[in-house]
Every structure is written in C-alpha cells, then in structure tokens.
Amino acid sequence: MATLYESRPTELSCIYPEAWADIYGHKNSAEREFSKDPTDFPIDARRREYNIISSNHENHRRQRKLLSHAFSEQAMRGQEPLLMQYVDLFIQRLHERKDEPVDIIRWLNFTTFDIMGELGFGEPFGCLKTRGYHEWVDIIFQNVRIGSQVNAVKFYPLGEFLLELLLPESLKRKRDAHKQLAWAKADQRMQLGVTAHGDLMSQILKHNDTISGMSHEEIRETTSLLIIAGSETTATALSGLVYLLGMHPHPYKRVVEEIRTAFSSEEEITLLTASKSTHICKLV
C-alpha cells in the first residue's frame, strides 16, 4: 500500500507512523513547527486576533500555555461529576431504545456537544434532554460540510473567487450565524467571570492576568473553535470505535472481559480507573 499520495493539487498526504511525529510532533527549542498552509489559514492584514489553530507560532504557544490549565489532569478530574452526569443520561437514552435500531453517531454527538457546551459556556445545548440537535449545533454541522467543500475548491485557480461569487446567500448567513452565536455565548460566559463551576472559561480567566493571557477577541475565537474541536471530532472517533468493535468479535470480547473483570459496578468506572484499562486505552 502506498504511504505517500497526492490528496489535492498541491498537497501530499503521508500515512506512515514516522510522519505523524515529524509533522505534528513536539519540537524542541531549536526547532519550529511547520507553518500553516496559507490556503487553509489565510493571513488577513486587517485581522489582528486569531484562534489557537490559525495564529502564528508565538501566539499559538502563548495561547496553548494558557489553555493547558483548562485541560490539565487536575482540571479534568474536577469536572468528572459533570461528565458523568451526561454519560449517565446518554446511557439512559440508549436503554430507552434497547428494542429499536439506534443511530449511535447522533447520540454520541448529542453527548459530546452537551458536555462541551457545559464546559465552554457553562450550559449544555440540551441535545440529550430534548433528544434532538440544538439549532446552533445543526448550523455547526452544516458549516463543517460547507467548509470541507470550500477548502477543496480553494486549491484550484480562481476557485475561491468563484466560490464567493456563486455561494448562495443562505449558506453565507449560516456561516456568519455560527460566529455570531459563538461570540454571544462567549461574551455572556465571560461576564460571569471565574465561577465555582471550574469550567474551561473559569480556567482561562483565572490565569488570564499572566504573560500568556488572551485578549477578549482571542477568547471569543478560541472558545468557538473548541466547541467544534471537542465535540464533533470526539463523537466521530467514538463512532468509529463502536463500529470497529461491532465488526470484529475478538477485540470486542477482550474489551467486554476487561471491563467486567475490572469493575463490579458502574460507580467504579471513573476517569482514573478507566485510564488503567490498558486494552481499551490502546484501542482508543
């Protein structure tokens, strides 16, 4: 099987383990990360604030340092009761449908979006409660689909120009609606300041007076990004894992055996104890 192939007119994709470390791995002080592709991440001279992905090397490092507090092991364990609340509701919803086919992708997305809404903005999207997508979540999915098509067209001569010319106004409005909703949510949450809830915004604001602090616009940009990065991608990965386990009986049996041997009740399954389940961690 080929390990190097052309994925777009000016892009090569490497599919071997060493490439991951070389391209995305941590660099020492004498090395620098690869620059972002300007086609995917164009630099706008009029724009001064960028999220953690589209920012340059220095700003990326500064923002990453601040966000490390929010995603530390201690911070995540502090959120465990909240995480378990939504996991329990997810399991409850599956039990309610035990006698009918279940779209696991849909329900995993309900769960991850509710969790990220709570962690990022202090309130869930209510997907698990209402058994449906929040209007904003539906807009996010449409933007993800549109974004992948837009990025593909950008690589062709005049592609981006023609796309903006031909893109229906309804799609442009959906693109702008996501940003406006995200910014409004971020502003609303920032006004509350640091709370006992200890969510991601609390961790950001708590350490925001340090040298690695983020501006108001950077917080807006990055929190709206995290909602997608922490929800849709996680649900997609978990959906793939569920599918592969369902298609391969031997790994499935090993997972079942490990879980039933290690835990005698649901209450024993925590972030700490689950992290010691070696086979499950390897599969993930």
pLDDT, tens digit, 9 for 90 and up, residues 191-202: 988 888 788 888
User: How far is the C-alpha of 59 from the C-alpha of 147, rounded, in Å?
Assistant: 24
pLDDT, tens digit, 9 for 90 and up, residues 75-130: 888 889 999 999 999 999 999 999 999 999 999 999 999 999 998 888 899 999 99
User: How far is the C-alpha of 124 from the C-alpha of 111, rounded, in Å?
Assistant: 9
User: How far is the C-alpha of 235 from the C-alpha of 104, rounded, in Å?
Assistant: 9
Q: Spell out the domain ranges in the chain.
A: 58-231
CA count, 13 A, side-chain hemisphere, 173: 3
Architecture of the domain delimited by 58-231: Orthogonal Bundle (1.10)
Q: Which long-range contacts (CB under 8 A, 24 or more apart) does 190-196 make?
A: 190/216, 190/219, 192/122, 195/122
Helix, strand and coil content of the chain, in percent to the nearest 5, comes to: 65, 5, 30
Q: What is the pLDDT of residue 224?
A: 82
pLDDT, tens digit, 9 for 90 and up, residues 125-144: 999 999 999 988 888 888 88
pLDDT, tens digit, 9 for 90 and up, residues 184-238: 889 999 998 888 878 888 888 888 876 768 888 888 888 888 888 889 999 999 9
SS3 12: strand
pTM (2 d.p.): 0.83
**Mean pLDDT for the chain overall:** 84
